[in-house]
Chains A and B, each alone.
Chain A
Amino acid sequence: MSTQTDGPAAERRLGEDLLVVDGLQKHFPIRRGLLQRQVGAVQAVDGLTFSVRRGETLSLVGESGCGKTTTGRLLTRLIEPTGGRIQLDGRDISHLSTSDMRPLRRDVQMIFQDPYSSLNPRHTVGTIVGAPFRLQKVQTENGVKKAVQDLLELVGLNPEHYNRYPHEFSGGQRQRIGIARTLALRPKLIVADEPVSALDVSIQAQVVNLLEDLQNEFDLTYVMIAHDLSVVRHVSDRVAVMYLGKIMEIADRTSLYERPMHPYTVALLSAVPIPDTSRRERRERIRLQGDVPSPINPPSGCRFHTRCWKAQEVCKTTEPALVELAPGHQAACHFPENAA
């Protein structure tokens, strides 16, 4: 976003939908006993509906166990959904077989959280970043080595480090290697699972800026999975807040951060520590009690009612639908805040 100064990203790009997700569901079976009978299911993702436009960044946020990582793995089809549909560029990829999925892997790539475990320690950087070309049998104009060196330069690494091993690099540099590998085949959609949370503050900013530059240069579409709400505000065009496998609220960035409607979003935002000592006393903080309930037995009605301070009888019995309460701003709550 360095080259653009005119307004938020959502206004300047008006792409059509690249990714459409409808009622997406993933239940992991729990099996017990000699016959491995299914006795229940972890409802990791339970009915997600959203779409991502070309060139846009959508972030999924929520506490651990809310299903955001499972969603990322469903979108990249590393796992198969138990219900619902995923459409990429107009094509239904929800139940494609491994071999049918393979050609599409070019279009969907993933950036992983941990730059230490996501790079094979026994391969050189050249082998790691060049692997997508070999696996997809892509011919490069001047050979794979040249292509890899161009990629390394693109992400801010020294192309001469082609023959080094991952352990010779710092965490931030490793994350850049992972990004270079992701970009090799010029994907349309990148799913980034906590891409900067393992990095130091000063390095975090470098990688965030790099991701933004690459998005502008190649018109990339990102689905970011993150828990740091300050970073999410910085990088996203739209944000979806998840809780126990469902979307509680989805809106464009400004609207979500300035006028959060779901009590859960309000609570999350109020819990973020602010680096300003003068605000320590004045802050109004909503304290959520306890932990996220188990996704094996999610609460009835609204899943958030057990921790919500606005909960009433209706919240325990009726599940609120995700409805548009303001233009481009959807929330699933019986008693939304900031609603007109």
Chain B
Amino acid sequence: MSQNPEDALAAAAEPRPAATGSPFLQVRELRVHFPTDDGVVKSVDDLSFSVDRGRTLGIVGESGSGKSVTSLSIMGLHKAGTARITGEILLDGQNLVGMNPDRVRKLRGKRMAMIFQDPLSAMHPFYTVGTQIVEAYRIHNPVSKKVARKHAIDLLDRVGIPNPTSRVDDYPHQFSGGMRQRAMIAMALSCDPELLIADEPTTALDVTVQAQILDLIRDLQQEFNSAVVIITHDLGVVAELADDIMVMYAGRAVEYSSAADIFNTPQHPYTWGLLSSMPRLDRERTERLQPIKGTPPSLINVPEGCPFNPRCAYAGTNGNLSFTVRPEFRDVGGGHHIACHLGAEDRMRIWDTEIRPKL
């Protein structure tokens, strides 16, 4: 990371004020590769997207699709030397790729913050919840311990912890799963971050608690007008929260559009597969689920052509194209992006006649 030539570029670009109207977070041609003994693992390969203030982007994909690696690279949490990161991550105009780790540390927690999946392992078991929130707050704000503690209590109250004045001195193990997740959200919010990344924030929680946490994230976003990236494998969760959705497969974006488009007129066969493989409470019960055949590919040997071709029912539609040429991620109208070789007519026909009736 340190020998990246863009280090100098980033430093030069730093004093530049944020251009008004440009997205708060902009990721351009991001590549995160991990060299291993078996070969290079291309966890993220040529990924571009952006999120505005006050908007929520949902990133959906299976395990190994590169969604968590993307969020960790935005936060600058990859260990230097293990990951090869190229491309641009612009946070309010500043490129984070190749930036000095000390400078990233100053941004992390203050301008961008993250909510992790498992609060029990993300919080330190040895310190009280209050101490951990106070620490995060005092790193970025020169205030006394007393003021910071007051702030921590306010935050715990804000995220709905009952009796915050006494619970602030509890240890993480004394909290239930839902309360720990709230405490972690409180910690992430301690400095009013402008970018909030939530990586599977509700996966470990029960549905009733999940509903509470999703409501909380939505309310807080409206209050602070922050940009939110929510990473999940659960299409139900993104349908509740996201304005825009990006579907990832094998380290690439395969579909990107507004949330309504993704659910009403999805155009990529992988998204179709995801929608048909999940049982849904809002529809008549189907006799049988329609799974996607096969398993996700190894990121060391990503298939030639379209990475999805071994699992795609329509891979042969355009001759050999899917097996030889990597489909370009392009706008197919109205900001709806897909990476697929199927023609517009074929996509419409397949969705209308084969996929939608079976959902």
A interface residues (Cβ-Cβ under 8 A, vs B): 1-2, 4-5, 63-64, 170-173, 200-206, 208-209, 212, 227, 229-231, 233-234, 253, 257, 267-269, 271-280, 285, 287-288, 290-292
Q: Is the CB of A273 within 8 A of B233?
A: no
Nearest B residue to A264 via CB reads B208
Q: Is the CB of B235 within 8 A of A291?
A: no
CB < 8 Å A-B pair total: 131
What are 18 residue pairs bridging A and B, where the CB atoms are less than 8 Å apart in the complex?
Answer: A64-B206, A202-B277, A202-B292, A204-B291, A205-B291, A205-B292, A208-B279, A209-B289, A229-B207, A229-B281, A271-B208, A273-B234, A273-B237, A276-B263, A277-B239, A277-B263, A280-B239, A291-B209
Least Cβ–Cβ distance between B163 and chain A, in angstroms: 11
**A268-B209 contact given A173-B295, A274-B236, CB 8 Å threshold:** no
Nearest B residue to A294 via CB reads B176
A287 to B213, CA, bound (A): 11
Nearest A residue to B206 via CB reads A63
Task: Please pick, from A63, A200, A257, A285, the residue contacting B63 in the complex, using a CB distance under 8 A.
Answer: A200
A4 to B289, CA, bound (A): 14
**B72 touches A (CB below 8 Å):** no
**B76 touches A (CB below 8 Å):** no
A275 to B260, CA, bound (A): 10
Kindly supply a per-residue 1/0 record for chain B positions 269-307, scoring 1 wherever the CB is within 8 Å of any chain A CB and 0 otherwise: 000011101111110011111111001100000000000
B interface residues (Cβ-Cβ under 8 A, vs A): 62-63, 162, 176-179, 206-212, 214-215, 233-240, 259-260, 263-264, 273-275, 277-282, 285-292, 295-296
A234 to B289, CA, bound (A): 9
Least Cβ–Cβ distance between B170 and chain A, in angstroms: 14
A257 to B281, CA, bound (A): 9
Q: Which residues of A contact B264 (CB under 8 A)?
A: 277-278
Q: Is the CB of A234 within 8 A of B279?
A: yes
Q: Is the CB of B237 within 8 A of A204?
A: no
Q: Is the CB of A200 within 8 A of B62?
A: yes
Nearest B residue to A253 via CB reads B285
Q: Which residues of B contact A204 (CB under 8 A)?
A: 277-278, 291
**A280-B240 contact given A203-B295, A230-B281, A275-B280, CB 8 Å threshold:** yes
Q: Is the CB of B282 within 8 A of A205?
A: no
Q: Is the CB of B291 within 8 A of A209?
A: yes
Q: Is the CB of A201 within 8 A of B233?
A: yes
Q: Which residues of A contact B237 (CB under 8 A)?
A: 273
Q: Which residues of A contact B234 (CB under 8 A)?
A: 201, 273
